[in-house]
């Protein structure tokens, strides 16, 4: 459980990162707003409270690592990294434009602070397991944090990684599923039903928790519990809402990658500033 001051600070940061993400995408005119907005709370928790990192030394030895395997959520990862000081904030307005260091999907060769290139669904998860194994072999006390999507969890590669990570007893791998119930152009229940996602991970011998992914206290409780489990990797399944904080995208199928007008951005930002989600 977070103390009141920390909780308020993180809530404020989550609001700022959501506003920054909306502005980034509105400047370009369209983008992956849905899946970027649904992970903001866990991003903020990791970057402002949990991870041992140094923005002035992005490749610091022994640091905690972060892999956003659903690489299309790049815009909210970039908003977070810019706010942390990994690169100037004005880079955000170059999102996915020619010559940018911020492509639509996360790229470790372009963006300071990105630990692994992602976008081909499933691959970031395997990379994260490899990184966690490397940390373990080196005897580091650090953790690897991984976010995967629920649609992404339909990839066979995810389950190969699941078997590998539990066989290797990767207690330093803490993963999150962004269970927003939507994928590229439909609801998961209509494509491949993910309702039994908890028991699937349990079946692969992971430590499994299920939380509200927009509740910072719940995220804190789950991460602290996961860190205590040293003999198995952890999966924290986060019930989230796709496009949370950008109201024009909530509850519609086309919110995966959509046009974001300056007018819609303005009203969504005003709502966030007024205290709405």
What is the Cα–Cα distance from 235 to 137, expressed in whole angstroms? Answer: 21
Interface with Mg ion (CB under 5 A), residue from 31, 58, 122, 149: 149
Q: CB nearer to Mg ion: give 189 or 266.
A: 189
Does position 177 interact with Mg ion (CB under 5 A)? The reply is no
Could you tell which of ligand TPP, Mg ion, none binds residue 233, using a CB distance below 5 to 8 A set by kind?
Answer: none
Listed in sequence order, the residues at least 6 apart from 9 whose beta carbon sits closer than 8 Å to its beta carbon are 48
Interface with Mg ion (CB under 5 A), residue from 24, 150, 155, 220: 150
Does position 107 interact with ligand TPP (CB under 6 A)? The reply is no
Residues 212-251 that bind ligand TPP (CB under 6 A): 242
Could you tell which of ligand TPP, Mg ion, none binds residue 70, using a CB distance below 5 to 8 A set by kind?
Answer: ligand TPP
Interface with ligand TPP (CB under 6 A), residue from 9, 30, 119, 271: 119
What is the Cα–Cα distance from 23 to 242, expressed in whole angstroms? Answer: 17
Structure tokens at 72: 């299309």
86: DSSP letter: S
Does position 41 interact with ligand TPP (CB under 6 A)? The reply is no
What is the Cα–Cα distance from 119 to 55, expressed in whole angstroms? Answer: 23
**With contact defined as beta carbons under 8 Å apart, do 220 and 49 qualify?**
yes
Does position 34 interact with Mg ion (CB under 5 A)? The reply is no
Interface with ligand TPP (CB under 6 A), residue from 19, 23, 24, 34: 34
Give 5: exposed, middle or buried? Use CB within 10 Å, 0-12, 13-18, 19+.
Answer: exposed
| DSSP for 84-102, written as a single string | HTSS-GGGGGGTTSTT-SS
Pairing, β 207-212 against β 173-179: unpaired
Does position 243 interact with Mg ion (CB under 5 A)? The reply is no
Chain residues in the site for ligand TPP (CB under 6 A): 34-35, 38, 70, 72, 119-122, 149-152, 178, 180, 182-184, 242, 256
């Amino acid at each position: 459980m977070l103390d009141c001051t920390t909780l308020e600070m993180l809530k404020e940061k989550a609001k700022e990162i959501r506003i920054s993400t909306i502005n980034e995408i509105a400047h370009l005119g369209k983008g992956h707003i849905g899946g970027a907005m649904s992970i903001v709370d866990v991003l903020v928790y990791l970057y402002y409270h949990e991870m041992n990192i140094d923005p002035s030394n992005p490749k610091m030895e022994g640091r905690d690592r972060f892999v956003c395997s659903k690489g299309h959520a790049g815009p909210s990862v970039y908003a977070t990294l810019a706010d942390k000081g990994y690169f100037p904030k004005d880079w955000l307005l170059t999102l996915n434009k020619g010559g940018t260091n911020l492509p639509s999907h996360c790229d470790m060769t372009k963006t300071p602070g990105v630990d692994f290139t992602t976008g081909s669904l499933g691959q970031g998860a395997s990379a994260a397991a490899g990184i966690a194994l490397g940390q373990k072999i080196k005897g580091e006390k650090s953790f690897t944090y991984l976010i995967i999507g629920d649609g992404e969890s339909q990839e066979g590669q995810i389950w190969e990684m699941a078997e590998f990570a539990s066989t290797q007893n990767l207690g330093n791998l803490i993963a999150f599923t962004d269970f927003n119930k939507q994928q590229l152009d439909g609801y998961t229940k209509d494509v491949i039903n993910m309702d039994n996602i908890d028991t699937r991970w349990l079946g692969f011998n992971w430590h499994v928790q299920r939380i509200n992914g927009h509740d910072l206290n719940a995220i804190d409780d789950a991460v602290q519990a996961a860190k205590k489990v040293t003999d198995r990797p952890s999966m924290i399944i986060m019930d989230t809402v796709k496009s949370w904080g950008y109201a024009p995208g909530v509850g519609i199928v086309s919110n995966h990658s959509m046009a974001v007008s300056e007018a819609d951005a303005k009203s969504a930002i005003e709502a966030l500033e007024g205290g709405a989600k």
